[in-house]
Amino acid sequence: MAEKLHYFDYAATTPADPRVIAAMSECLGMEGAFGNPASSSHAAGTQARSLVEAARAQVAALIGAHADEIVWTSGATESNNLALKGYADNAADRRHLITSCLEHKAILDTVASLEKRGMTASFVRPDAHGDITPAAVQAALRDDTGLVSLMLVNNEIGTLTDIAAIAPIVHAAGALLHVDAAQALGKTPIDVNALGIDLLSMSAHKVYGPKGIGALYVRREAAARIAAQMHGGGHERGLRSGTLATHQIVGMGTACALAAERMDADTQRIAQLAARLLDGALR
Ligand SMILES: *Cc1c(COP(=O)(O)O)cnc(C)c1O
């Protein structure tokens, strides 16, 4: 008899929620919303467009943003690339970046590629608890620092960065704050205004959505400072061209709406499971 699979790697990816799968399936075939969301001259297009915009509002609601501040991407990796390279392309001066040595490869490798393009970077180190402290960020700031990029929840050690304390320091220095929230979305409350975030990377597949879809939150005031990395039809207010993947987008929107509903209950349930596990381990 086949043994039941016990899957413990939800930090790497999650299965899609059945309600996500159902919503996505409605966007693919002849009977569904298969139209091109950019086709504004017929019903197939406008139907798909309205689903895309409803999903945009669902993602925005989960992070306290305006819908027009959400740019669809293929995932958090692309969102991180768009934020950092998009900043670098438009930065005539202020070509120094700050990040941390605890970041995901999608940040570290992007920063490395920007260093080859003449940007300079500082890598903040964590304290003894694994935290990136406001004081450490403050100490790394320079006159020419233009962007600080830090993750909200660490994908390996689970630490939660005190973004609310770091944001005012970054802004006082005249820099933008980018946050990689791939591990945080739907698991801890995020309010981009309360936290003072200018750019925020998100991914659907860590929160019961499909792989291959994500978003970058771009604060209205920061939009002009980010250069597109994907050129074409001028989709997504010129920030990311490419025909919108209605089924993926609807999947991410549904996942975000479900996350908003169950975040409190999930947090409690997981805290209880963690307590039980530790209790058993220490016995
Ligand atoms: C998973 C992850 C990413 C990459 O996200 P994709 O959507 O898979 O590209 C980036 N940053 C962090 C912190 C992650 O956990």
The pLDDT tens digits for 151-181 are 999 999 999 999 999 999 999 999 999 999 9
What's the token pair of residue 61? 């609601």
Question: Ligand 1 atom 12: the closest Cα is on which residue?
Answer: 182
Look at residue 1 and tell me whether its pLDDT is greater than 70: no
| Atom number of ligand 1 nearest to Cα 181 | 13
Residue 262 lies in a domain: no
- CA 76–ligand 1 middle distance (angstroms): 5
| Distance (Å) of CA 254 to CA 10, 51, 54, 66, 210 | 18, 11, 10, 17, 10
Residues 6+ apart with CB under 8 A from 91: 119, 146, 147, 225
pLDDT more than 90, % of the chain: 96
Question: In this structure, what CATH number is given to the domain that contains residue 86?
Answer: 3.40.640.10
What is the pLDDT at residue 198?
Answer: 98
What is the pLDDT at residue 41?
Answer: 96
Residue 180 lies in a domain: yes
Whether the CB of 155 sits within 6 Å of ligand 1? yes
Question: Ligand 1 atom 5: the closest Cα is on which residue?
Answer: 76
SS3 category, 139: helix
- CA 44–ligand 1 middle distance (angstroms): 33
Look at residue 190 and tell me whether its pLDDT is greater than 70: yes
CA 127 to chain centre: 25
- CA 33–ligand 1 middle distance (angstroms): 28
Location of structure tokens 């989960």:
62
Q: What is the reported pTM? A: 0.96
Residue 64 lies in a domain: no
Whether the CB of 215 sits within 6 Å of ligand 1? no
CA 46 to CA 168: how far, in whole Å? 41
What is the pLDDT at residue 192?
Answer: 98
CA 33 to CA 51: how far, in whole Å? 8
Residue 82 lies in a domain: yes
Nearest to 71 by CA among 82, 63, 62: 82
Residue 272 lies in a domain: no
Whether the CB of 253 sits within 6 Å of ligand 1? no
Whether the CB of 180 sits within 6 Å of ligand 1? yes
CA 79 to CA 85: how far, in whole Å? 10
Whether the CB of 104 sits within 6 Å of ligand 1? yes
- CA 183–ligand 1 middle distance (angstroms): 7
Mean pLDDT of 44-72: 98
Tally of helices (H runs) and strands (E runs) in the chain: 8, 7
Whether the CB of 76 sits within 6 Å of ligand 1? yes
Report how many domains make up the chain.
1
Residue 255 lies in a domain: no
Q: pLDDT tens digit string along 236-258?
A: 999 999 999 999 999 999 999 99
Mean pLDDT of 46-66: 98
R_g of the chain, CA atoms, integer Å: 20
Residue 10 lies in a domain: no
Query: Per-residue confidence at 193, pLDDT binned at 50, 70, 90?
Result: very high
Structural domain span for residue 231: 69-238
Residue 8 lies in a domain: no
CA 171 to CA 182: how far, in whole Å? 23
Contact indicator for 48, 37 with CB cutoff of 8 Å: yes
Instruction: DSSP for 201-230, please give it.
Output: EEESTTTTS-TT-EEEEE-GGGGGG---SS
Q: What is the mean pLDDT of the chain?
A: 96
Q: pLDDT tens digit string along 90-125?
A: 999 999 999 999 999 999 999 999 999 999 999 999
- CA 283–ligand 1 middle distance (angstroms): 35
